[in-house]
């Protein structure tokens, strides 16, 4: 498991960047490079359930919120997969990566925001993550600044 790090400077307050990251209307825009039409459904509770899925909601990842302090940080812990609407958090396949973290940190700097992302992944997903986050965070920047 490797921890990948991404960072971008955004000329907007942290509250606006947070909203762009997590509201239903813009989430699928910046995550398009991971999965077109992707959706996040969460109860916003530490230890609760969060699902990152493709448009149908039947396939994706099962996660939980590890830590949250709006608009400063949000840390997800990935638990397993959702396949055809069925959760898998116990198979050998998911045991290789369950427990990995995906963290978002927003630092306010005089009306601007530094957005930092850290994600634990198997090295075989590095290229996909690099493309998704590098392009996706540019979308977050553009949406936040306009």
Q: If phi over 0 gives left and psi between -120 and 50 gives alpha, with beta otherwise, what is residue 118?
A: beta
Percent of the chain predicted with pLDDT > 90: 83
User: What's the mean pLDDT in 5-16?
Assistant: 97
With cut-offs at 50, 70 and 90, classify the pLDDT of residue 96.
confident
What pLDDT was estimated at residue 33? 92
Neighbours of 39 (CB within 10 A): 17
Q: Sorting pLDDT into bands at 50, 70 and 90, what band is 95?
A: confident
Q: Residue 146, class by beta-carbon neighbours within 10 Å (0-12 exposed, 13-18 middle, 19+ buried)?
A: exposed
Query: Whole-number mean pLDDT of the chain?
Result: 94
DSSP element (H, E) containing 132:
helix 126-145
**Stretch (H or E) spanning 81:** strand 73-83
Residue 125, pLDDT > 90, answer: no
> Is the Cβ–Cβ distance between 42 and 59 less than 8 Å?
no
**Which one, of 4, 10, 5, 1, lies nearest residue 113 by Cα?**
10
Q: Which helix (H) or strand (E) holds 69?
A: strand 60-69
C-alpha dihedral (68, 23, 127, 90), degrees to nearest 10: 60
What token pair was written down for 101?
A: 């973290």
Domains in the chain (CATH in brackets) are 2-145 (3.30.530.20)
């Amino acid at each position: 498991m490797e921890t990948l790090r991404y960072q971008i400077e955004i000329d907007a307050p942290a509250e606006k960047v947070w909203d762009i990251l997590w509201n239903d209307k813009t989430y699928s825009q910046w995550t398009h490079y991971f999965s077109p039409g992707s959706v996040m459904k969460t109860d916003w509770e530490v230890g609760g359930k969060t699902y990152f899925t493709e448009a149908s909601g039947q396939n994706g990842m099962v996660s939980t919120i590890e830590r949250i302090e709006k608009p400063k940080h949000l840390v997800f812990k990935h638990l397993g997969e959702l396949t055809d609407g069925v959760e898998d958090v116990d198979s050998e396949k998911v045991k290789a990566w369950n427990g990995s973290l995906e963290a978002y940190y927003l630092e306010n700097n005089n009306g601007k925001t530094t957005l930092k992302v850290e994600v634990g992944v198997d090295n075989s997903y590095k290229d996909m993550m690099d493309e998704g986050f590098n392009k996706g965070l540019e979308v977050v920047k553009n949406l936040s600044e306009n």
